[in-house]
Amino acid sequence: MATTTIKPDAELDCVGLFCPLPITRTKEAIEEIAIGQVLKVEADDPAAEEDITRWAKRTGHRILALEKDGAVLTFYIQRMA
């Protein structure tokens, strides 16, 4: 169950998609929002946690929260650049 109070500016549903689609779509979606805004991404790909975390660090974006609900991961990513 989601417990975060972060209000995303955009949402992306990647449930049912597998590598490389979650990271590709996250990259595309983050470019659609303004710097400082937050993107909520839901994914159930087992590789998503490592892939998206590594991508955010490499590209300078900030993961504000990561929630797990069964197989579904929910990322709140703030666009930094």
Catalytic choice (2, 6, 19, 71):
19
- Examine the residue annotation and report whether 14 is marked as an active-site residue of this protein: no
Cβ-count burial of 44 within 10 angstroms (0-12 exposed, 13-18 middle, 19+ buried)?
Answer: middle
Cβ-count burial of 51 within 10 angstroms (0-12 exposed, 13-18 middle, 19+ buried)?
Answer: middle
- Residues annotated as part of the active site: 19
